[in-house]
Amino acid sequence: LKAGIICRPQPAGVASPPAALPSPDLLLLVSDDPALASGLRAAGVPVDGRSPHGDGQGPLRACGHRGALVDLRADPGRGLDLLAGLRHRAPDLPLLALLAPAGDDDLPARAAAAGADDFCILQADLGELLARVRWRLRRPAGASAVVVGHLVLDPATGQVRRGGRLLDLPRRQHE
C-alpha cells in the first residue's frame, strides 16, 4: 500500500475487497459521468472509475489510490456521504470535490466539512480540473518541513508554525 493511505479492517460479515489492489498512481473517480473519466484518461490521468451508487461490493474503498475525486454534481447528498466515508477510512488521502457551475452556494463549505481538501467547479473544458488533480497527485508523501523566514510548514502533519508558535489554519489554507 502507498504510505499514508489507511484501510480499516472490515467488520465480520462484510465482504472483503478484491485481492488485487489498484496501482498507487490511480485516482479514484466517483462519478456517473463516463465523459469525465474518458477526459481524464485522455489527458494522461490514470483513473479508477466507480459509481457513487456502489457496485454491490460493499463500502467504497480508497486503498492504494493516490487521491480521490468525488463528483457532487448529480447527487450532492450522496456525494457528501461518500466524502465523509472516504475521509473516515483514509484520513490522509487527498480528496477533491467536483461541483456544478451553478448550484448550492454553500456546497463548497459542506464538502469541506465532509472531508474534502479542495473543490473544483467543472467548466466546459477540463483545464482547471486537470491542474488541480495533477497538483494533488504530485504532493510528496512524507515531505520534509518547508521553512521560509519565521514560518515552518510541515506537509506531513499540516501544521504551520510562526516563531515556534502553532497557527490555527484551516486545512485548505496551509496547502
Task: Kindly indicate the confidence band of residue 84, based on its pLDDT and cuts at 50, 70 and 90.
Answer: very high
Q: Which of 104, 111, 101, 56 has the alpha carbon at shortest distance from 78? A: 111
Separation CA 137–CA 170 (nearest Å): 20
- The CB-side HSE value for 45 (13 A sphere, CA atoms) comes to 29
Q: In what order do the strands lie in the sheet with 95-99?
A: 47-50, 27-30, 67-71, 95-99, 118-121
Residue 12 has pLDDT above 80, yes or no: no
Mean confidence (pLDDT) of the chain? 75
Query: Positive or negative CA dihedral for 87, 24, 79, 44?
Result: positive
Is 90 a residue whose pLDDT tops 60?
A: yes
Confidence of residue 5 (pLDDT cuts 50, 70, 90): very low
- Give the mean pLDDT of 51-74: 72
Q: Is the whole-model pTM more than 0.85?
A: no
Q: Is the pLDDT of residue 79 over 60?
A: yes
